[in-house]
Amino acid sequence: MANLAELCKNASVEEPWNGGQSRTRSVSPALLAGHSLLFSLVLGTVRLMRTVIYPGSFDPLTNGHLDLIQRATKLFDRVIVAVARNEGKRPLFSQQERMQMVARAIRGLPHVEADSFDGLLMDYVERRSAQAVMRGLRAVSDFEFEFQLALMNRKLNERIETIFMMPKDTYTFLSSRIIKEIASLGGDVSAFVPAHVRTALAEKLALTPA
């Protein structure tokens, strides 16, 4: 605080209208402290705002996905769950339905948003001004594909980092494919997906011929 007081006392103010001479004037410490607080807040928000993109097909969202999203909120200021179009996977739910399910599941989570994208992930990451991509690792079986994908994405854009997160151990066996399989065979999936996803699955499967 002594430094601040000293600074305030000796603040030098240039007065061009006074023949370009400098004059030493005292500045209110409160004013100076207020300005520096505002300055560091603005700088901090701009510089430290960290955004991660969590891309996937989410066909449908499971509690394993949600577990990862919650973990990411501890590390990043903003988490964007990005639902990929992924027509190649022949999804059960449309992209819009998948995104709506994600949006509903994250309603209570601050700083998390749902979005959808098409095309190159790295282009989307740039568009959203994000710094990182998050992917999940359930078991060794995920590793090879994820490793390849992360390295290819790095080739496309050196600036973006891929980070991997592990879910709670009880979710390591969970995948959207398994959930669809269990639900289509009449099994109970309520322990593995949010209630609204379970309802959506039941409705969709009732409409979809086996």
Ligand X SMILES: Nc1ncnc2c1ncn2[C@@H]1O[C@H](COP(=O)(O)OP(=O)(O)OP(=O)(O)O)[C@@H](O)[C@H]1O
Active centre residues (catalytic): 65, 89, 138, 176
CB of 35 to ligand X, least distance (A): 45
Cα angle, residue 85 at apex, residues 175 and 171 outer, rounded to 5° = 15
CB of 152 to ligand X, least distance (A): 14
CB of 135 to ligand X, least distance (A): 4
Closest CB to ligand X among 11 and 104? 104
End-to-end CA distance of the chain: 74
Q: What are phi and psi of 74, to 5 degrees?
A: -80, -20
Closest CB to ligand X among 11 and 166? 166
Sheet of 78-84: strand order equals: 112-117, 78-84, 51-56, 132-136, 161-165
Residue 186: left if φ>0, alpha if ψ -120 to 50, beta else—which one? left
CB of 102 to ligand X, least distance (A): 10
Closest CB to ligand X among 59 and 106? 59
Closest CB to ligand X among 132 and 174? 174
Q: For residues 48 and 145, give the distance between their C-alpha atoms in angstroms, rounded to a whole number.
A: 31
Nearest partner of 142 among 164, 126, 125, judged by Cα: 164
* Interface residues toward ligand X, by CB under 6 A: 56-59, 62, 64-65, 68, 135-136, 138, 142, 167, 171, 174-177
